[in-house]
Amino acid sequence: MRARSLAILLLTLGATACGSLAVTSEHDKNVDFSALEHFSWSGLGSNIDPQATGASASADDEVRRTITENFEKRGYQFVRPEEADFLLSYQVVIEKRLDERVMNTGPGAGTAWGNQNIDEATYNKKANTTYIMEYTEGSLIIEARDAGTNNLLWQGVAESVMDQDRSAEKKAAMMRSAVEKIVKRFPARH
């Protein structure tokens, strides 16, 4: 029974961890985004967490290029920083996480707690098994700041469980997908 429960747990976590991408964004509701036309990059240097597999100058260039292309597709023009209405920055963060799952692994696990002449609470204490899984979560954070005031205008975040065994091509495709989904959440120019 315990092996069956562990298999169910691993399948559940596997389905959750197969690269689903959670994307969120926030923006300053007092900003007239229709007035924004020109963007550039804020600062230089890599913004990729050194723990990230494949962290390198070429990876940084690829992320910047992908973000730039996606903003240009939305009608914004890339210019020198001193000519920009807003400045972009990004960061990749890698964090270790723990997931705790408690499963009823006793005989007859489910809604019935058996005919064992004990109360339900005592039965559950005897029949529950706790599984703790460690995994790695990666986050891509893109920010847009006002070029004149440096006030935060918008922030988009994509988070996903990282599969360390994923090929470089699949990782690059996932990064491009994350950038595209994040940038689509940037308020539209009317």
Q: Is the residue at 1 inside a domain?
A: no
- What is the tally of structural domains in the chain? 1
For residue 8, the model assigns a pLDDT of: 35
Exposed e or buried b per residue across 145-171, where buried means at least 16 C-beta atoms within 10 angstroms of its C-beta: bbbeeeeebbbbbbbbbbbeeeeeeeb
101 — phi, psi (to 5°)?
-125, 130
Q: At residue 156, what is the residue type?
A: G
pTM recorded for the entire structure: 0.70
For residue 7, the model assigns a pLDDT of: 34
Q: For every one of its 190 residues, what pLDDT tens digit does the chain have, with 9 covering 90 and above? A: 434 333 333 333 333 344 588 999 999 999 999 999 999 999 754 555 555 544 556 778 889 999 999 999 999 999 999 999 999 999 988 888 788 887 766 655 455 555 556 666 666 566 677 888 887 788 899 999 999 999 999 999 999 887 777 787 888 888 899 999 999 999 977 6
Q: Is the residue at 66 inside a domain?
A: yes
For residue 65, the model assigns a pLDDT of: 95
For residue 4, the model assigns a pLDDT of: 39
Burial label, 110 (beta-carbon count in 10 A; 0-12, 13-18, 19+): exposed
Q: At residue 39, what is the residue type?
A: F
**2: Cβ contacts below 8 Å, ≥ 6 apart:** 105, 129
For residue 15, the model assigns a pLDDT of: 37
For residue 121, the model assigns a pLDDT of: 67
Q: Is the residue at 122 inside a domain?
A: no
Q: Which domain holds residue 89?
A: 20-97+134-183
169 — phi, psi (to 5°)?
-65, -40
Q: Is the residue at 114 inside a domain?
A: no
For residue 57, the model assigns a pLDDT of: 66
CATH number of the domain at 151, please: 3.30.160.670
Q: Is the residue at 51 inside a domain?
A: yes
User: Distance between CA atoms of 144 and 153, rounded to whole angstroms?
Assistant: 6
